[in-house]
Amino acid sequence: MIVSINKLKTFFNKKEKQKLTLLFFMMVIAAVLETIGIGMIVPLVGIVTNPSVIKEHYLLIYIYELFNFSSTSAFMVFSVLALLSIFILKNMYLLLFNYIQYKVILNQQVKLQGQLFKKYLTRPYIFHLNRNTSTLLRNVNEEVARVCQGIVLSAFQLLSEILIILFIFILLIVTSPIATITASFLLGGSVFIFFRVFRNKISSLGKELQSVNGTLIKWVNQGLGANKEIKVLGKENFFINSYTNQSLIKIRNSRYIKILEVVPRLFIETLLVSVVLITMLIIIFQGTNTTQLVSTMALFAMAAFRIMPSINRVVALITNIKYSKPALDVVYEDLFLNKDSITESGSNGTLSSFKLSQRTFNQSIELENVFFKYPNQKNYSIKNVSLTIPTGKSVAIIGESGSGKTTIVDIMLGLLLPEKGKVIVDGVDLHNQISLWQKKIGYIPQTIFLSDDSIRNNIAFGVDTININDDQVWKALEQAQLKDFVLSLPEKLDTSVGERGVRLSGGQRQRIGIARALYHNPEILFMDEATSALDNETEMEVMKAIDNLKGQKTLIIIAHRLSTISNCDIVFKLKQAQIVEVEYQNNSSIPRLLGNMGVN
C-alpha cells in the first residue's frame, strides 16, 4: 500500500500535487455539506411532527425571533425552504467539484500517456527488440487510463465516500450511540470479511485482464497485419479462434468482477434493512418518546439512504483499485525504472561543443575492436570487428545470411551500443554525438514502413505538412526513379498509399523508402538490401541514381547481388560475426571474392 502510494506520487509534479491537495480540501467541504444536508432532517422532522418544539428549543426560539416570524407555519415553510436551498447549493457544489476532479485527473492521464509514448519512442533500439508492440500499445492506451481512472480517480472517490460515511457516523453517534456502534460493527465487519475472502482473487483477476488485453491486441495486429498470408494459407479460423478464446477469458474475467461488485450491494442492502429495523427496536426498548423516535428514525433512514450507496461505492472502488493495481506497476516500471544509458548519453554527451547544422563529417567512420551480443544470446553477432570507412566512399558489406551484416550496420547507425570497442566518427565517439549523427545519415531498410497517408507525407516522414518542401520531394522522387510514376497519378503527391502502402507495388514501396532517405539530403546513406525487392531493370535504374550520389555522399550498402556492389569502392566480407576479407574497387580480385561467397 505505502509502496503503491510512493509510486503514485512520482506521477505528479509539485504543481499537480498542489492541485490534488486543493481537490482534497474541496472534497472535505463536499462531505461536510452532505452531512449538514442529512443533519438538517432531524430538526425538520421534529418541527413537523411537533410544532411546539419551535417555542421550546433555545436555538429555534432565537431564529424565530431573529426573522420575526408571525406564526409557526411560516417558520415551517422557512425551514423547508432552508433545507431545500442547502440541498440545491450542496448539489451545485458537488457538480463543480466533480467537474474539477475529472478535469485534473483526466488531464493527468493525457500527460502520462504522452510521457509513456515518448519514453517508448526514445528508448534504445535494443529495448524494442525485446518488447512486444502489443504490450507497449496496451500500456499507452489502456494501462495509463487504468492508473488514472481505476486508481487515482477511484482513490479520490473512495476518500470522499469514506469522509461522508465518517461524518454521518459522527452525526449518528451523537444522536444514538448504541444503535450506531452496533450498525457500524455489522457493516464494517461484513465489508472487512468480504475483502479478506476476495482480496487475492481480485488481484489475480486484475493481472489476468492485463495479460489478456495485450494478447487480444496481438491477435488483432497479427491477423490484420498478415492478412494476405493468412488468406493464401486459409488460416483465418486459427486467428479468429485464438482471438475468441482470449475474448472469452476477458468476458469471464469481467463477469466475475462485475458479480463481485454486485454481491456486496445485495448483501449490504439486506444487512442495512435489518440494521434499521434492529435499531428501531433498540430505540424503542431504550424508552425514547414518539417524537424523538420518529425524528431519530428519519435520521437513520436518511442516513441509510445516503450511506447505502456510499458503502456500495466504497466496496466497488476498493475492488477497482485492487483490480487496477497491476497497471500501476507496469506503467511505473516503464516510466521510471529501467533507465538505460544509451539514449541519455546520446542526447546530451558532448553535443553542445558542436554547431549542429554547420558541421559536416569529412574524415572517416571507424569501428575499433567492436563486440556485440544480443540480450540473452550466447554467441557474439559481431566479434572483434575493426574497419575504416573514409567519408565520400561507397562501401558494400557482404556475407552469408546470419553473418552479422544488419547488426554491424545497426551499430554504425547508433541503434545498438557495442558491448566492447568503439564506433568513432571523425575522431569522436559516435554515442557522444548521436543527435548530430542522426541529422546527417539516411537509412533505407529492407522493408519500408509506409503510413496510411499521402506520398508527400510518406517521403517527408515526420515533418509537418505545412513545412514540407515539395521541390525537395520531387527531387528525391527523381533520384529514386519514381518521379514519372507519381506524375502519372491523378492526385500526384496527394495520392494516398493505403495502409502499409497496399496501393503500391513492392518495388514502388521500396523506392518511396529510398526517396524518404534522400529527402533530407543525408551525408551518409545506409542501405540494407534496399533494392533486393526490385526487378533487375528497376534495380539498375535505382542503383544508377545511387551511383550518381557517389563522391557526394558516403554510401554503406548491405548487398546480395553482384550488380549492387560492383561499383563500390570497398567491399567488406563478413563471416560468422567477423570481417574476413576487405577488397578495394580497383583490385581485380573483387569479382573472385564475390564469386566465393554466394553472391548472386
Ligand X SMILES: Nc1ncnc2c1ncn2[C@@H]1O[C@H](COP(=O)(O)OP(=O)(O)OP(=O)(O)O)[C@@H](O)[C@H]1O
Phi-psi bin for 434: left (phi > 0), alpha (psi -120 to 50), beta? alpha
Residue number with CB closer to ligand X (205 or 577)? 577
Angstrom distance (rounded) from CA 444 to CA 526: 6
Residue among 405, 431, 520, 553 that touches ligand X (CB under 6 A): 405
Residues in the interface with ligand X (CB under 6 A) total: 12
Q: How far is the CB of 342 from ligand X (least distance, A)?
A: 15
Residue number with CB closer to ligand X (218 or 405)? 405
Residue number with CB closer to ligand X (321 or 568)? 568
Angstrom distance (rounded) from CA 413 to CA 405: 12
Q: How far is the CB of 408 from ligand X (least distance, A)?
A: 7
Residue identified by cell 556485440 is 372
Site string for ligand X, 129-158 (x = CB under 6 A): x-----------------------------
Q: How far is the CB of 561 from ligand X (least distance, A)?
A: 12
Query: Nearest to residue 430, comparing CAs of 416, 442, 414, 415?
Result: 414
Q: Considering only residues 337 through 376, tell me which ones interact with ligand X, judged by CB under 6 A.
A: 374
Q: Would you count residue 510 as binding ligand X (CB under 6 A)? A: no
Q: Would you count residue 312 as binding ligand X (CB under 6 A)? A: no
Residue number with CB closer to ligand X (404 or 522)? 404
- Which residues lie across from 382 on neighbouring strands? 372
Q: How far is the CB of 560 from ligand X (least distance, A)?
A: 7
Query: Nearest to residue 127, comparing CAs of 438, 342, 330, 331?
Result: 342
Q: How far is the CB of 524 from ligand X (least distance, A)?
A: 19
Residue number with CB closer to ligand X (72 or 576)? 576
Q: How far is the CB of 318 from ligand X (least distance, A)?
A: 43
Q: How far is the CB of 533 from ligand X (least distance, A)?
A: 13
The residue range among 75-83, 315-323, 397-405, 583-591 that interacts with ligand X, by the rule CB under 6 A, is 397-405
Residue among 406, 447, 521, 567 that touches ligand X (CB under 6 A): 406
Q: How far is the CB of 423 from ligand X (least distance, A)?
A: 16
Residue among 213, 312, 381, 479 that touches ligand X (CB under 6 A): 381
Angstrom distance (rounded) from CA 311 to CA 264: 9
Q: Would you count residue 563 as binding ligand X (CB under 6 A)? A: no
Residue number with CB closer to ligand X (153 or 398)? 398
Q: How far is the CB of 437 from ligand X (least distance, A)?
A: 20
Phi, psi of 337 (to 5 degrees): -105, -175
Angstrom distance (rounded) from CA 563 to CA 581: 19
Angstrom distance (rounded) from CA 380 to CA 576: 9
Q: Would you count residue 401 as binding ligand X (CB under 6 A)? A: yes
Q: Would you count residue 225 as binding ligand X (CB under 6 A)? A: no
Q: Would you count residue 485 as binding ligand X (CB under 6 A)? A: no
Starting from the edge strand earliest in sequence, which strands make up the sheet with 382-390, in order? 382-390, 364-372, 420-425, 428-429
Characterize 313-351 residue by residue with b for buried, 16 or more Cβ atoms within 10 angstroms of its Cβ, and e for exposed: bbbbbbbbbbbbbbbbbbbbebbeeeeeebbeebeebee
In this structure, what C-alpha cell is assigned to residue 164?
461522508
Q: How far is the CB of 555 from ligand X (least distance, A)?
A: 17
Query: Nearest to residue 385, comparing CAs of 408, 403, 414?
Result: 408
Cα of 451 vs its chain's centroid, Å: 21
Residue number with CB closer to ligand X (315 or 570)? 570
Residue number with CB closer to ligand X (156 or 380)? 380
- In order of 78, 190, 274, 315, the CA distances from 193 in angstroms are 46, 5, 18, 11
Helix 290-336 and helix 14-39: axis angle, to 10°? 170
Residue identified by cell 445516503 is 306
Residue among 402, 498, 591, 598 that touches ligand X (CB under 6 A): 402
Q: Are 542 and 509 in contact (CB under 8 A)?
A: no
The residue range among 74-82, 348-356, 395-403, 478-486 that interacts with ligand X, by the rule CB under 6 A, is 395-403
Q: Would you count residue 573 as binding ligand X (CB under 6 A)? A: no
Residue number with CB closer to ligand X (326 or 404)? 404
Residue number with CB closer to ligand X (158 or 416)? 416
Q: Over the Cα atoms of the chain, what is R_g?
A: 36
H/E element, 478: helix 470-479
Q: Would you count residue 399 as binding ligand X (CB under 6 A)? A: yes
H/E element, 584: strand 578-584
Q: Are 315 and 194 in contact (CB under 8 A)?
A: yes
The residue range among 89-97, 203-211, 342-350, 405-413 that interacts with ligand X, by the rule CB under 6 A, is 405-413
Angstrom distance (rounded) from CA 449 to CA 474: 20
Residues that bind ligand X (CB under 6 A): 129, 374, 377, 381, 399, 401-407
